[in-house]
């Protein structure tokens, strides 16, 4: 299998952490991408030209990160990172969606900050920053309701917070979020997180 990725993408990191946690690292070739000029193989697999995109052994492509992570989880089998049923399944999926929203908002802010000052929208930056701050607070509250065992919600939260540290350190997300900061400090030491650190 082949995984199109970039080293700094938090979505691709979710997939890379998942495949390491599930012991699938050996089966997947990592293909680094330059998103400025997406290559033909990526576009043929994913018309949106986005990473992560996984090419299965059958040649079929999978995207985006929640879809790929769930596929990897089922491919490797138990213990599952996404419970098959019951209220915990929906709690974990919601946690993943919340962490993905942090990534989406952070990415929008980063892209906006890269524009020239005249083209930049302060209103957009403010709106997205407020949203991601609310989501970080909600992540701290939801953390306690996630299973003790590793789930896709934990992986997504770890990758979202890692991305804030990488791209928006001035946001100082740890302020007022002691429990989340403490959890992240421990989570970031997992071999899968250390092996996928950007930069």
Q: Which is nearer to ligand GSH, 11 or 183 (CB)?
A: 11
Helix axis angle for 87-114 and 10-21, nearest 10°, is 140
Smaller CB separation from ligand GSH, 65 or 192: 65
Of these, 17, 45, 51, 61, which contacts ligand GSH (CB under 6 A)?
Answer: 51
What is the length of the chain? 199
Task: Select from 43-51, 133-141, 166-174, 180-188 the region that touches ligand GSH (CB under 6 A).
Answer: 43-51
Contact flags string 53-82 toward ligand GSH, x per CB under 6 A: -----------xx-----------------
Are the beta carbons of 62 and 68 closer than 8 angstroms?
A: yes
198 sits near ligand GSH (criterion: CB under 6 A): no
Cβ neighbors of 38 (< 8 A, separation 6 or more) are 49
- Nearest residue to 143 (alpha-carbon basis) of 182, 113, 192, 172: 182
Cα–Cα–Cα angle for 23, 32, 29, rounded to 5 degrees: 35
How many other C-beta atoms lie within 10 A of the C-beta of residue 87? 9
Q: Point out the residue whose Cβ comes nearest to ligand GSH.
A: 64
- Of 30, 49, 125, 134, the residue at the interface with ligand GSH (CB under 6 A) is 49
Q: For residue 46, state whether it binds ligand GSH (rule: CB under 6 A).
A: no
Q: Which of residues 11-40 bind ligand GSH (CB under 6 A)?
A: 11, 35
8 or 181: CB nearest ligand GSH: 8
Cα-based distances in Å from 7 to 52, 127, 129, 173: 11, 27, 23, 22
Q: Which residues contact 80 (CB under 8 A, 6 or more apart)?
A: 73, 74
Token pair for residue 65?
A: 């990160």
Stretch touching ligand GSH by CB under 6 A, among 50-58, 149-157, 174-182, 190-198 = 50-58
Per-residue binder mask for ligand GSH (CB under 6 A), 88-127, x = binder: ------------x------x--------------------
Binding interface with ligand GSH (CB under 6 A) = 9, 11, 35, 49-52, 64-65, 100, 107
């Amino acid at each position: 299998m082949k995984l199109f990725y970039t080293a700094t993408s938090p979505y691709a990191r979710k997939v890379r952490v998942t495949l390491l946690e599930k012991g699938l690292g050996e089966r997947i070739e990592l293909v680094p991408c330059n998103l400025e000029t997406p290559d033909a193989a990526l576009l043929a697999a994913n018309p949106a030209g986005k990473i992560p995109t996984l090419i299965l052994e059958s040649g079929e492509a999978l995207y985006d990160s929640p879809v790929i992570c769930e596929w990897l989880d089922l491919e490797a089998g138990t213990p599952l990172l996404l419970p098959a049923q019951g209220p915990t399944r929906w709690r974990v999926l919601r946690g993943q969606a919340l962490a993905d929203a942090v990534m989406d908002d952070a990415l929008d802010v980063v892209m906006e900050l890269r524009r020239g000052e005249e083209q930049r929208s302060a209103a957009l930056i403010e709106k997205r920053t407020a949203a991601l701050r609310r989501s970080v607070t909600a992540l701290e509250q939801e953390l306690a309701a996630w299973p003790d065992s590793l789930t896709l919600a934990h992986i997504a939260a770890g990758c979202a917070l890692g991305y804030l540290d990488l791209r928006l350190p001035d946001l100082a997300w740890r302020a007022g979020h002691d429990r989340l900061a403490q959890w992240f400090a421990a989570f970031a030491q997992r071999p899968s997180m250390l092996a996928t650190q950007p930069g």
